[in-house]
Amino acid sequence: MEEIKEADATLYDWLNQIPAKSWSKAHYSGRAKCDMQLNNMCESFNKQLFGARDKPVITCLEYIREYMTRRIINVRKMVSKAAGPLTPNATKTFEEIKTEASQLTVLMVDAHNYQVNSIRSQCVVNVKYKTCTCRKWDLTGMPCKHAVAAINDMAINTMNVGIPKQWVSKVYWLNTWKKVYDNQIMPIPSEDYWMPSRCPTTLIPPKHHKQVTIQMLLCLLHILKKY
């Protein structure tokens, strides 16, 4: 924060008004098992609804319902083809972490605490509480390279650690992904078959007004110049 203050005092004051747990990874709780600082997931969903945002409410909701129905089916197809036990993306990420972990050295302190060294850093891993100095394991639930190196050292020392993937949080498991999309959205008939509403309130469309065009702005500027 001191570096930010020296670089931009206005930014420093603005950040001080926002709780640190909302924008700084150092203050994240780890409850969400995600260290993303962007709203990319929301933006991706919003992009899929681009064709419905300018439609009337019922048409927009029908668009969303059909999109979600197709998404559920597509994800179920992906789940049926996946080998597990982790989701495909989690499996790929974990394999990359295992490759990085092979380059580290481990110093065992006791059954739970390990010092993991690399060329440029040194971290402390506690396998009992699933924590690491780098905080990646804490925040994401995915063992970092330091944790995987410690787990590998445990296996070398004949400790019963099971398969390394068992140390990954359940949020990345294929069964969890399957449960998320286990529900289904039932089809519904068109409004021709709907029961007439008994609601005493009549909903009327909003008042329509013409959008200001460039030509109208030019005319307005021309009139103002006269005065």
- In which band, very low, low, confident or very high, does the pLDDT at 148 lie, cut at 50, 70 and 90? very high
Cα 4 from chain centroid (whole Å): 27
pLDDT average, residue stretch 148-172: 90
d(CA 99, CA 92) in angstroms, rounded, equals 11
d(CA 127, CA 116) in angstroms, rounded, equals 12
The residue ranking higher by pLDDT, 196 or 73, is 73
Q: What is the pLDDT of residues 21-78, one digit of tens each?
A: 777 777 777 777 777 767 777 778 888 888 888 888 888 899 999 999 999 999 999 9
- Which H, E and C letters describe the chain, residue by residue? CHHHHHHCHHHHHHHHCCCHHHCCHHHCCCCCCCCCCCCHHHHHHHHHCCCCCCCCHHHHHHHHHHHHHHHHHHHHHHHHHCCCCECHHHHHHHHHHHHHHCCCEEEECCCCEEEEECCCCEEEEECCCCEECCCHHHHHCCCCHHHHHHHHHHHHCCCCCCCHHHHCCHHHEHHHHHHHCCCCCCCCCCHHHCCCCCCCCCCCCCCCCCCCCHHHHHHHHHHHHHC
Quote the pLDDT of residue 219.
Answer: 72
Q: Break the chain into its structural domains and give their ranges.
A: 1-30, 39-84+173-188, 88-170
The residue ranking higher by pLDDT, 95 or 217, is 95
Quote the pLDDT of residue 171.
Answer: 92
Tokens found for residue 136 = 């990646």
pTM of the model: 0.72
Q: What is the pLDDT of residues 93-147, one digit of tens each?
A: 999 999 999 999 999 999 899 999 988 889 999 999 999 999 999 989 999 999 9
Quote the pLDDT of residue 88.
Answer: 93
Judge whether 94 and 165 are in contact, CB under 8 Å: yes
Judge whether 174 and 79 are in contact, CB under 8 Å: yes
